[in-house]
Amino acid sequence: MGFATLTLTAIDCPEPRRLAEFYAAVLGGEVKGGPGDGPGDGDWINLYLPDGQRLAFQRAPDLRPPEWPRADRNAQQLHLDLTVEDLDAAQERVLALGARPLDVDDDGGKRDFRVYADPAGHPFCLCRA
């Protein structure tokens, strides 16, 4: 048994509020300024998800987005898997919110995920439930 509890996942990005709002539109939840930032566009923005989890977005003005799927240069570091009921409908929504397709060929429905980049360039997957 472990001895620690995961508090949050922090994601580096050039525009914390913009990325927090993207993920709030995808996952739901409430966007709040980080410690000492108040409601503005501080260097740390929190997204409190409906299930009690929290994502945080930390300003990194010189962030170089990962080059998915390359592992030899600026590797992806981490990615989020997001479960959805309808891949096609979810794809339409994330693209309308500013995501970019990276690998959306699901091999005629045989593969149960598609890969996108969020507005800051981080890879994430939409996975069929």
Give the contacts of 82 (CB within 8 A, at least 6 positions apart): 26, 27, 90, 124, 125, 126, 127
Residue 121 lies in a domain: yes
In terms of domains, do 14 and 52 share one? yes
Domain span at residue 124? 80-128
Q: Determine the average pLDDT of the residues in 24-32.
A: 96
d(CA 113, CA 129): 10
Q: Same domain for 45 and 85?
A: no
For 57-83, how does the pLDDT look when each residue is reduced to its tens digit (9 = 90+)? Answer: 999 988 888 777 776 666 666 789 999
Residue 117 lies in a domain: yes
How many domains does the structure of the chain reveal? Answer: 2
Output the CA torsion sign for 64, 69, 73, 77. Answer: positive
What whole-number distance in Å separates Cα of residue 126 and Cα of residue 81? Answer: 6
Domain shared by 117 and 86, yes or no: yes
Q: With respect to residue 64, please indicate whether it lies within any of the assigned structural domains.
A: no
What CATH number has the domain bearing residue 124? Answer: 3.10.180.10
Q: Is residue 107 part of a domain?
A: yes
**Predicted confidence (pLDDT) at residue 46 exceeds the cutoff of 80:** yes
Give the lowest-confidence range in 21-30, 49-58, 65-74.
65-74
- Based on the domain organization, do 47 and 16 belong to the same domain? yes
